[in-house]
Structure 1
Amino acid sequence: MKTLFTAEAISKGGRSGTIESPDQLLNITLGNPLEQGAEKLGPNPELLFAAAYSACFHGAVRGAAKKLGTPVADSTVWAQVSLIEDDEGGYRLAVELRAQLLGIDHAQSQRIMEEAHQTCPYSKALRGDIAVTLVVV
């Protein structure tokens, strides 16, 4: 394996704190929907994860479409990330990925999404621990 690059982020204060990168490209005050008064201070970790996952998965969708011989000219990917309290008092995530691939039929769009789910690094990292639902729009 070959490392292509490494990203680094530093958290201070947990879910109601801040995150930043050493190069200051990222410098965010977090909001916490579980804490009254802090919900609108900024994005929460699940929102940031949804943004990153949707971008990564979108890249995988475009790659999968090309690999399957159906290049995508116009596409949109949405990611919904839910924080769920489990039966043991801990927390888990659930993810729903939606893709709209204009000009591509539903069955082929589903094949593209399934292929993308096999190659996307975020999907691979979550496999076996988080339920990820794929939906063609």
Structure 2
Amino acid sequence: MSLDKVIYTAHATAEGGRDGRVATDDGKLDVVVSPPKEMGGSGDGTNPEQLFAAGFAACFHSALKLVARRARQEAGESTVEAEVGIGPINGGAAYGLQVRLVVTLPGIEREVAEQLVAAADSVCPYSNATRGNIDVSHAVA
């Protein structure tokens, strides 16, 4: 996939990998990262999976609100929860991710909500970037 044009470019620098610090060039994000306890770390900082989950949830929620507005549906009280799992692949030779998005759309019929989630999946940049690369599932709560 290639972009028609670049509208915005984010810049972040990591120092120390999973056990260090990551910051954006504008200073709006500056966090300590550390492996979670489940991966043998201290769990004292955030981790790349949490950052990915936060980004995916926010991006998907924006896409959901866009498609809901186009469909004349009220999504004001909606939420998107992203669960990002990490684990070994290829017999432990590498690591991979999986994502589960749980969407809550109060006051919208389930069938309509599922249609909105499917439409948001085709609009969301994170969905488009991950499609065919990692397992992403969607659930309507």
Asked if Structure 1 and Structure 2 have the same fold, meaning a TM-score greater than 0.5 normalized by the shorter chain, the answer is: yes
Residue 28 of structure 1 aligns with which residue? 31
Q: Distance in 2 between matches of 1:136 and 1:83?
A: 23
Per-residue CA deviations over 1:58-110 (Å, capped at 9, x if unaligned) read: 00000111222323121011000000211342111100001110110111100
Structure 2: which 5+ residue stretches go unaligned?
none
The normalised TM-score by structure 2 is: 0.91
Residue 72 of structure 2 aligns with which residue? 69
The normalised TM-score by structure 1 is: 0.93
> What amino acid is aligned across from residue 66 of structure 1 in structure 2?
R
Q: Distance in 1 between matches of 2:15 and 2:76?
A: 41
1:44 paired to 2:50: no
In the alignment, which of 55, 60, 81 is matched to residue 57 of structure 1? 60
Deviation at 1:31, TM superposition (A): 2.0
Alignment of 1:121-136 (within 5 A): 121-136=125-140
**4+ residue segments displaced more than 3 Å:** none
Residue 7 of structure 1 aligns with which residue? 10
Q: Distance in 2 between matches of 1:35 and 1:84?
A: 13
- Cα RMSD between the aligned structures? 1.1
Q: Distance in 1 between matches of 2:137 and 2:66?
A: 20
> What amino acid is aligned across from residue 43 of structure 1 in structure 2?
T
Number of matched pairs: 135
Per-residue CA deviations over 1:21-70 (Å, capped at 9, x if unaligned) read: 1221111110211233x21x211100010001000000000011122232
In the alignment, which of 91, 98, 111 is matched to residue 115 of structure 2? 111
Structure 1: which 5+ residue stretches go unaligned?
none
Q: Distance in 1 between matches of 2:96 and 2:75?
A: 33
SS across alignment from 1:15 = coil
